[in-house]
Amino acid sequence: MSSRLWLTLLLAETILLVYLVVHPAQACCPAPPRGQPVVNADQTVIMIWDAATKTQHFIRQASFKSDAEDFGFLVPSPTQPELAESGDSAFAQFRKLTEPERKKVHGSSGSVGCGCGTNVKRTMVAGSAAPVRVLEEKMVAGFHAVVLETKSTTALADWLKDNDYAFSPEVQAWAKPYVEAGWKITALRVKKRQDDKEAKEVSAKSLRMTFKTDRPLFPYREPEAGKSAEVLGAKHRLLRIYFVAEARYRGELTPETPWTGRVAWAGKVSPTDRANALELLKLPETTGPAQWWLTEFEDDWAYRTAPADVTFSRSPTQDEVRREPIIEYVAAPFPTDGMVYALAAVVVVPPLVRRRKRGVSL
């Protein structure tokens, strides 16, 4: 065997051993991520708060669980809302803004809080008893929307019954504090797609509600949904709020019952990203503060009656928050650690030298 061929084989065996040391055989472990009750499922909300004008823009991307082919739900707001369709693609941009950083390492690893769901038997008809005023009725974002004003939960119950809404004592109890405070109630109707009537999950288009309020809020209270959630197999849901304001904000329920929402991301938004978001949301360039601070909240929203709505105020902590980075281990073409080559040489070279000497002696 020639010296050149012997050296070539020695180098090949050394490289092969190094590769096996650094890149062990990879194991593959796949991990692949259904009466007519209605309950809220996962919800994602974009809230833009303009403290200077006390204006809140509320854009919700909601889903529901229900056996009904069509149903309605009620949304409270402190003042009469402006209703408009909003762009769904804005949610993807916000997810991109707050996603964790991906770091590549060479080596191997060791509605408007929808108040309630109420079944609708047929198309809603405008009109009300004298104590209930219809402030606006329109088709928007695929919804039939009616904005109501009343000072009586009994009158509200009568109006909903007259317009073929199922109205329960639980819903009446839920509506009572809002009606007494003079809030407006927006009734929205959702209808399943004709080709998907058997599905329990129902998704709605993004709807924007803009209204005046002294303090930004998320209507967190719901009617008792324990039995409905159990019937529908609804056990877990996630509420995600992208809160935009002039600074970092925090959410609160009551002093006795802290909100379970946690800050997943917080930081300033660049002027370019701000302009893109407003364009996707179909809002004017002057919407909200000139400098956006985005705070993302995640809440494992339990199916139980909350003591209050979530209100937001400027946080005493203005630190930025980022998600833990995602480490992606990638294979290096060759190891860079000299000790690995030295180890391989100690293991591989002596046997090859002995083999070559035996060949020479023969």
Q: What is the pTM of this model?
A: 0.73
Residue 91: the pLDDT is 93
Q: How far apart are CA 133 and CA 336, in angstroms?
A: 76
Q: How far apart are CA 55 and CA 288, in angstroms?
A: 8
Residues 86, 207 contacting (CB under 8 angstroms) = yes
**pLDDT tens string for the chain (362 positions)?**
555 544 444 444 433 333 333 333 333 222 222 344 444 457 899 999 999 999 999 998 755 554 555 667 889 999 999 999 997 899 999 999 999 988 776 655 444 555 555 554 444 444 444 599 999 999 988 788 999 999 999 999 999 888 877 677 888 889 999 999 999 999 988 765 555 555 555 556 789 999 999 999 999 988 765 444 444 444 678 899 999 999 999 999 999 999 999 999 999 999 999 999 999 999 999 999 999 999 999 999 887 788 999 999 999 999 999 999 888 777 665 555 555 555 555 555 566 556 666 655 54
- Taking CB atoms within 8 Å and a gap of at least 24, the contacts of 352-356 are 352/6, 352/9, 352/10, 352/13, 356/1, 356/6
Which DSSP string corresponds to 176-208? HHHHHTT-EEEEEEEE--GGGTT-SEEE---EE
Ramachandran class of 226: left when φ > 0, alpha when ψ lies in -120 to 50, beta otherwise: alpha
Catalogue the E-assigned strands of the chain: 38-50, 55-66, 70-77, 82-85, 102-106, 116-119, 132-140, 143-150, 184-191, 201-203, 207-212, 217-218, 239-245, 249-252, 262-268, 293-299, 310-314, 326-330
Q: How far apart are CA 29 and CA 99, in angstroms?
A: 24
Residues 292, 286 contacting (CB under 8 angstroms) = no
Ramachandran class of 88: left when φ > 0, alpha when ψ lies in -120 to 50, beta otherwise: alpha
Residues 222, 307 contacting (CB under 8 angstroms) = no
Contacts of 331 (CB under 8 A, 6+ apart): 23, 106
DSSP H or E stretch at residue 352: helix 338-361
The packing angle between helices 338-361 and 3-22, to 10°, is 140
Q: Which two tokens stand for residue 284?
A: 């004017």
Residue 193: the pLDDT is 52
Ramachandran class of 353: left when φ > 0, alpha when ψ lies in -120 to 50, beta otherwise: alpha
Residue 352: the pLDDT is 57
Residues 59, 208 contacting (CB under 8 angstroms) = yes
* Maximum pairwise Cα distance, the chain: 115
